[in-house]
Amino acid sequence: MAKETTPEELVNVDYEAPKKDWTETPVEFREGMYCYGSRPVYLQEVGFPNPREWSPADEDWKLPENWKEIVLTAMEERLSKYRSFRVFMDICVRCGACADKCHFYIGSGDPKNMPVLRAELIRSIYRKYFTIGGKLLGKRAGARELTEDVIKEWWYYFYQCTECRRCSVFCPYGIDQAEITMIGREILNLLGLQTDWIGGPVANCYKKGNHLGLEPHAITSNIEYLLDDIEEITGITIEPSFNRKGAEILFVTPSGDLFGDPGTYTAMGYLMLLHELGLDYTWSTYASEGGNFGFFTSMEMAKRLNYKIYAEAKRLGVKWILGGECGHMWRVLNQYMDTWNGPADFMEEPVSPITGTKFENAKSTKMVHICEFTADLIKHNKLKFDPSRNDHLNVTFHDSCNTARGMGIFDEPRFIIKNVCNNFFEMSSDATREKTFCCGSGSGLNAGENIELRMRGGMPRGHAVKRVQEKYGVNMLANICAIDRAVLPPLMDYWAPGVDVCGTHELLANALVMKGEIKRTQDLRLEDLPGVEDDDDDDDNNEEGGE
């Protein structure tokens, strides 16, 4: 529970500036800054090592007896397996260009959140055990002994990095701290040092196909519930298919879109768009997760979880896969899927059945991003919109780190938004596109217990939104990521109250003029569209008035 501040504390004002040398001090675990340790059952489910009850706040982390050997062997293996890792350990010239580019550093002011120092946490061990200089000169060469305290420090700070890659954009050598963090976490994982918030979704996804552990009936019944709402809003009955063999396209999206607002409105958007096109597609209740929390534990686990998408595509015999709005799902697909589980030769090169456009970028993975698909439809005039339905919204767009820096999708979502909304405003160029600021909750950090960390990490993003809120009256923050849809609302609540959050396909479906629809008086959130008279209501009113 919250620590109550006593009046004594409040009046006890210290006129002296606190003098702390942050780099010298051992790590202090502050509540609100870290996630709970994973419960053993989650690790057991997927065969991860050292399952046990533990808490990061404990003195004794119950590490395996030979933990040091495990860590050093794991480092050695990775140094020879990944050339990038060795290069990143060797070439940093400490120029400092990356230092102030991390949102966690900007928000917290904690020097160990400078990317260069975060890397130094592991680099100092590398020097000590894997370089001659470090072995001989020790501390003078920036080397240090591997102790349990170092492991604790790794854990604290590698889970204060969202693997967002912003720092790498500014590094003259392209050193990618995200990759270093991934390896750091992978090594910690070998000691059973997993967070509960990541461990749970991984185990769920492994067993049931999605992070929330939803069984097939829960998935279908939730989609049906969204369909009821769509029918109320548009008068149109939609009947999507599930697990249908022989469908042309398999649609995969993060399960977060099916539960929890505002993700659900984005899911309604997909349902409406795909229905309007009459697309021959199917949902799967087995490959029911686009996201991949395995990616935050180890490459091997990510690969195992990712495989189910291809396995399901094969089982259903689809020609290609369409993927919803998600962040790390696309990073995984774009950067790793093909190497791990591809090429998916049993499918065909994706071609839009509506426009005939070939998605050559998806030639090997056979998986197309819905924003590319939709932007292509708009470009070919295949959709009809009434953007005035979004006129009460002043929209800005948050580039998710994963789709922006992980795959370079910048223009498609903007193109869609500009076609379906009349009021679009960009945030500063220091905070968008490849320089975008992270939401502060990515890479599995979107737990509840570390909310302070999330508010700090999201400060630069929140601040950039507040600027456009003040300047242009922005009241809607659009994005193309399910984690964003879950974590940006609380972030806005703190940094820019009054700004709401939505997926891009929610905006699209609000404006989409569908064949046979009734007059729209409500948006996808079942809220009245401003300035639109409800004909029936008028009648009702008249009737009531006449009584």
Binding residues (CB under 6 A) for ligand SF4: these are 92-98, 101-102, 104, 115-116, 118, 161-167, 171, 173, 175, 177-178, 181
Closest CA to 179 of 151, 201, 158, 200: 158
Number of Cβ within a 10 Å radius of residue 379: 13
Q: Which of 214, 267, 321, 512 binds other proteins (CB under 8 A)?
A: 214
Q: Where are the alpha helices (DSSP H) in 345-393?
A: 370-379
CB 328 within 8 A of CB 79: no
Closest CA to 251 of 306, 206, 309: 309
> Per rule CB under 8 A, is residue 5 in the interface with other proteins?
yes
Query: Given the structure tokens 């910690």, which residue do they identify?
Result: 188
Extract the tokens encoding 354: 């509506």
CB 282 within 8 A of CB 318: yes
Q: Which of 149, 225, 235, 311 binds other proteins (CB under 8 A)?
A: 225
177 binds, among other proteins, ligand SF4, none (CB under 5 to 8 A by kind): ligand SF4
> Per rule CB under 8 A, is residue 22 in the interface with other proteins?
yes
Q: Which stretch binds other proteins (CB under 8 A): 48-56, 207-215, 285-293, 518-526?
A: 207-215
Name which of 249 and 445 has its Cβ closer to ligand SF4. Answer: 445
Amino acid at 95: C
- Calpha distance 85→273 (Å, rounded): 43
CB 195 within 8 A of CB 492: no
- Strand residue runs (E) in 234-389: 249-252, 281-283, 320-323, 367-369
171 binds, among ligand SF4, other proteins, none (CB under 5 to 8 A by kind): ligand SF4
Name which of 244 and 463 has its Cβ closer to other proteins. Answer: 463
- Calpha distance 227→233 (Å, rounded): 10
> Per rule CB under 8 A, is residue 100 in the interface with other proteins?
yes
Query: Given the structure tokens 């309604």, which residue do they identify?
Result: 268
> Per rule CB under 8 A, is residue 495 in the interface with other proteins?
yes
* Interaction residues for other proteins, span 341-400 (CB under 8 A): none
Q: Which stretch binds other proteins (CB under 8 A): 22-30, 87-95, 362-370, 415-423?
A: 22-30
DSSP 8-state assignment for residue 396:
E
At its nearest, how many Å lie between other proteins and the CB of residue 21?
7
- Residue 39, CB-side half-sphere exposure with 13 Å CA sphere: 6
Name which of 68 and 463 has its Cβ closer to other proteins. Answer: 463
> Per rule CB under 8 A, is residue 107 in the interface with other proteins?
yes
Q: How many residues does the structure list for the chain? A: 547
Kindly give, in sequence order, each residue whose CB lies less than 8 Å from that of residue 511, ignoring residues fewer than 6 positions away: 385, 386, 387, 389, 390, 419, 420, 421
2 binds, among other proteins, ligand SF4, none (CB under 5 to 8 A by kind): other proteins
Q: Which stretch binds other proteins (CB under 8 A): 188-196, 346-354, 374-382, 454-462?
A: 454-462
> Per rule CB under 8 A, is residue 460 in the interface with other proteins?
yes
Query: Given the structure tokens 């091997």, which residue do they identify?
Result: 300
- 3-state class of 288 per DSSP? coil
> Per rule CB under 8 A, is residue 18 in the interface with other proteins?
yes
At its nearest, how many Å lie between other proteins and the CB of residue 75?
27
> Per rule CB under 8 A, is residue 463 in the interface with other proteins?
yes
Cis status of the peptide bond prior to 262, with omega within 30 of 0:
yes
* Interaction residues for other proteins, span 108-137 (CB under 8 A): 108-111, 114
DSSP track, 487-534: HHHHHHHHHSTT-EEEEHHHHHHHHB--TTPPPP-B-TTSPBPTT---
> Per rule CB under 8 A, is residue 218 in the interface with other proteins?
yes
At its nearest, how many Å lie between other proteins and the CB of residue 215?
8
Q: Which of 224, 411, 528, 540 binds other proteins (CB under 8 A)?
A: 224
175 binds, among other proteins, ligand SF4, none (CB under 5 to 8 A by kind): ligand SF4
> Per rule CB under 8 A, is residue 259 in the interface with other proteins?
yes
Interface residues with other proteins (CB under 8 A) are 2, 5, 9-15, 17-18, 20-23, 30, 32, 99-100, 105-111, 114, 212-214, 217-218, 221-222, 224-225, 259-260, 427-428, 430-431, 448, 451-452, 455-456, 459-460, 463-464, 467, 490, 493-495
